[in-house]
Structure 1
Amino acid sequence: MRLSNKIALPIAAIVGLLIAVAWMAGLFADKTPAGLKEQQQAFKGSIQNVSIELLNVTERAPGSIVAKENTLVASRLLAQLKTLTVRAGDKVEQGQILARLDDADLKAQVSQVKAEQDANTAQLQQAKKQLERSQALLEQGLVAINQVDEWRAKVDELNARQNALSQQLTAAEIALGFSQIQAPISGTVVERLVEPGSIVAPGTALLSLYNPAQLQVQAAVREQQAAHMQVGDKLKVYVPATSLTQYATISEIVPVADSSARTFLVKLDMGLMPSVVPGMYAQIEYQLEQRPALLIPSHLVKQYGQLDMVQVVDNGVLSRRYIRLGDAFGDKVEVISGLSKEDKLAIY
């Protein structure tokens, strides 16, 4: 009897444990069909029909602001830079003197040529007088003709030298003018590349300038959309850094596509925009072809965590339907999947 009690107690404990596990697993609960666990209910309120609409869809392409008119201001001489009067950000006018080079040697060269020109002019005047006297004496038979020819040759030689000196003087004055470096365009200084005291050679860049009134947007546009664009079309340009929007005109479509990105480079001319400078990020906006889309009012969509849900009325019965959404268009949102145009939505 004592042995049977020892066996019965463990068996009873095991059976009790198995019953508890089965109860926690829900074996004794009523079965619920898969899917939504909420009980469907009849709906007697207002409904919203789902319909297909044609959308005028716009697309944005990233781009950047560049200066259509920019230049490097360079030296044309080998000389020492004496002064540089502007710095980055300064506004300059076309023809304004920006820098001066050491011009002592150039001024000396101009003075030397002028002195030689004065001396040659005096010799030329004297030679012309001698030629006139020789011609008069020749008519009287007092000198030989070869003496007249010698003075005529001398006059011709001095005339030729006078022309050569005039050209040398012009070249020297032009070189002297190059010592004062002027702004080739009106604009803004981007960068100061050298400092006074430096020895600059011909072609050495001193400054970089750009014209803020001649800006351009360059953007890569998908080849399917670039095929519908033409030079002269106006597109909307948005600059996020300044929150400014402006229309720009297509001035060029590069006729070679980027084979890796399948895009075309489109250039648009734009007017002056306050606080917009080259290098800024910009977006161009253009309209795509109309396409059909299933749209529903945004307020009919409820969120459950990361899921979007609407209440669908089917044969007078209200049920929950999970959907996948696309872009919003005003007070409506596009439904990508989960609904069809025959469905009816409950308004609540």
Structure 2
Amino acid sequence: MNYETTVRSEQAEYVGDSIETAGETQSKRKWIIAGLVLLGLIVAIAVAYMLVSSGAESADDREEQAAAITVISPGQATIDGEIVANGTLAARRELPVGVAGEGGRVVSVPVDAGDWVRAGQVLAVVDRSVQNQQVASAQASIAVAQADANLAQANLDRALQLVERGFISKADVDRLTATRDAAAARVKVSQAQARELSARNARLSIVAPASGLVLERSVEPGQVVSAGSGALFRIAKGGEMEMMARLSEMDLAKISTGVSATVVPTGSEKKFSGQIWQVSPTIDAQDRQGTARIALPYAPELRPGGFASATIASGTIVAPMLPESAILTDAQGNYVYIVDGDNKVVRRAVTTGLVTNDGIAIIDGLDGAEKVVLRAGGFLTPGETVDPRPINASEG
């Protein structure tokens, strides 16, 4: 009995110790878990603080690293309008010269293309051997008619003396008077025929209708010509030239006669001053263009049929002026980048106008007070923050 009691007592103590040890272990585990949770919170807070600080620093860095962009405020400028056009050179008044008479075989051509001629100067001579004989015959006919007229007048004078003595009747006098008048008329007819033949002979010589420069010669000695041969010579009256500039409807409406222009022939650097003397009253239905004719003085470089370019004054306008580097173009048209009050890049559509040596006029889209990005606009995007660096318009 005592042995069993002792055993149970020992077992009870052992069980009690085990329960106590298990309780202590669970308590420690709870504290460890709580510590780990607290440590995790502390770490999370530290990481969040670092991220927030890093973000703020990055924002500050971005602000400090904003691209420095040159901007310009163009203001308003008075611009001399110019229109650039192309066209061909021609004689201002071209005179085609051909056969005025019956024609014949050409025996000589004393002038050539490029020669200066005066009004009435002989350009080509046509053979007139047959016509000369006709003139000689006509002159002989005049002599015959004049002799008949002289005889008729003498007969009438004698008859008048005999009438007073009663030997000749009044009827005889009238008949002699009629004979005399008919003879005088035949003299006039013969003279008229002779003058006609002389005039025909004179027309056989092809002469210049006015002074000027021979542009073209299309006849040679020995050639048979007639009224149907067309123009044998072409003459620029007075040597005056012109440029026939082709302009759009819009540009044509901006100019008028008397406006000055500068013409440069292709292949030459020499400039020639002229004035518009005629503006086409019609527009070509095919290309919607008209012609402005620019009068020019003679110069060897101005060759009819050649190509040339013209710069025509078209008044003045007041508008902002930008250098070409500030204007960008894409599928939507022309535009510029401006910097707003928050230093943000903003796209602005513009309409360009006159192009001059000082820049391009902006006729719509700007009032001149904006800060326009001067260069490197192609590397910017709308909404981007930049650091604007203004310069004067005169420096741009």
**TM-score when scaled to structure 2?**
0.63
In the alignment, does 2:305 pair up with 1:282?
Answer: no
User: In the superposition, relative to structure 1, how do residues 328 and 91 fare at CA in structure 2: closer, same or farther (>3 Å)?
Assistant: closer
Q: Give the structure with the larger strand fraction.
A: 1
1:184 Cα deviation after fit: 1.8
1:125 and 1:282 map into 2 onto residues whose CA distance is 72
Aligned residue number for residue 371 of structure 2: 342
User: In the superposition, relative to structure 1, how do residues 42 and 191 fare at CA in structure 2: closer, same or farther (>3 Å)?
Assistant: same
1:73-88 mapped onto 2 (5 Å cutoff): 73-75=97-99, 76-88=101-113
Query: Contact 1:53 / 1:295 at 8 angstroms: preserved in 2?
Result: no
Aligned residue number for residue 137 of structure 2: 112
Question: 3-state SS of the aligned residue for 1:290?
Answer: strand
The count of aligned residue pairs is 299
Question: 3-state SS of the aligned residue for 1:95?
Answer: coil
Question: 3-state SS of the aligned residue for 2:227?
Answer: coil
Question: 3-state SS of the aligned residue for 1:184?
Answer: coil
Query: Contact 2:265 / 2:301 at 8 angstroms: preserved in 1?
Result: no
1:164-175 mapped onto 2 (5 Å cutoff): 164-175=189-200
Aligned residue number for residue 77 of structure 2: 54
* Aligned mate of 1:238, from 259, 264, 268: 264
1:91 Cα deviation after fit: 2.8
Q: What do the CA deviations read for 1:5-55 (whole angstroms, capped 9, x no partner)? A: xxxxxxxxxxxxxxxxxxxxxxxxxxxxxxxxxx88659999654434436
1:105 Cα deviation after fit: 1.1
1:268-347 mapped onto 2 (5 Å cutoff): 268-284=294-310, 285-287=312-314, 290=317, 292-293=319-320, 295=322, 330=357, 341-342=370-371, 344-345=388-389
Query: Contact 1:242 / 1:276 at 8 angstroms: preserved in 2?
Result: no
Query: Contact 2:95 / 2:237 at 8 angstroms: preserved in 1?
Result: no
Q: Percent identity?
A: 23
2:267 and 2:135 map into 1 onto residues whose CA distance is 54
1:329 and 1:80 map into 2 onto residues whose CA distance is 59
Query: Contact 2:83 / 2:251 at 8 angstroms: preserved in 1?
Result: no
Query: Contact 1:94 / 1:183 at 8 angstroms: preserved in 2?
Result: yes
Query: Contact 1:254 / 1:265 at 8 angstroms: preserved in 2?
Result: yes
Superposition RMSD in Å: 4.0
Query: Contact 1:253 / 1:265 at 8 angstroms: preserved in 2?
Result: yes
In the alignment, does 2:188 pair up with 1:163?
Answer: yes
User: In the superposition, relative to structure 1, how do residues 40 and 237 fare at CA in structure 2: closer, same or farther (>3 Å)?
Assistant: farther
Question: 3-state SS of the aligned residue for 1:116?
Answer: helix
2:282 and 2:340 map into 1 onto residues whose CA distance is 55
1:316 Cα deviation after fit: 12
Q: Which amino acid aligns with 2:204?
A: S
In the alignment, does 2:219 pair up with 1:182?
Answer: no
1:241 and 1:174 map into 2 onto residues whose CA distance is 48
Q: Which amino acid aligns with 1:65?
A: L
1:152 Cα deviation after fit: 0.8
2:105 and 2:322 map into 1 onto residues whose CA distance is 72
Where do 5+ consecutive residues of structure 2 fail to align? Answer: 1-61, 328-337, 346-351, 373-387, 392-396
Question: 3-state SS of the aligned residue for 1:64?
Answer: strand
Question: 3-state SS of the aligned residue for 1:51?
Answer: coil
Moved more, 104-113 or 223-232: 223-232
Q: Give the structure with the larger helix fraction.
A: 2
Q: Which amino acid aligns with 1:71?
A: L
1:248-263 mapped onto 2 (5 Å cutoff): 248-263=274-289
In the alignment, does 2:236 pair up with 1:210?
Answer: yes
Where do 5+ consecutive residues of structure 1 fail to align? Answer: 1-38, 302-311, 320-325
User: In the superposition, relative to structure 1, how do residues 114 and 316 fare at CA in structure 2: closer, same or farther (>3 Å)?
Assistant: same
1:221 and 1:195 map into 2 onto residues whose CA distance is 41
In the alignment, does 2:249 pair up with 1:223?
Answer: yes
Aligned residue number for residue 90 of structure 1: 115
User: In the superposition, relative to structure 1, how do residues 177 and 294 fare at CA in structure 2: closer, same or farther (>3 Å)?
Assistant: closer
2:253 and 2:123 map into 1 onto residues whose CA distance is 46
Q: What do the CA deviations read for 1:148-179 (whole angstroms, capped 9, x no partner)? A: 12211111111111111111111111112122
**TM-score when scaled to structure 1?**
0.71
Question: 3-state SS of the aligned residue for 1:153?
Answer: helix
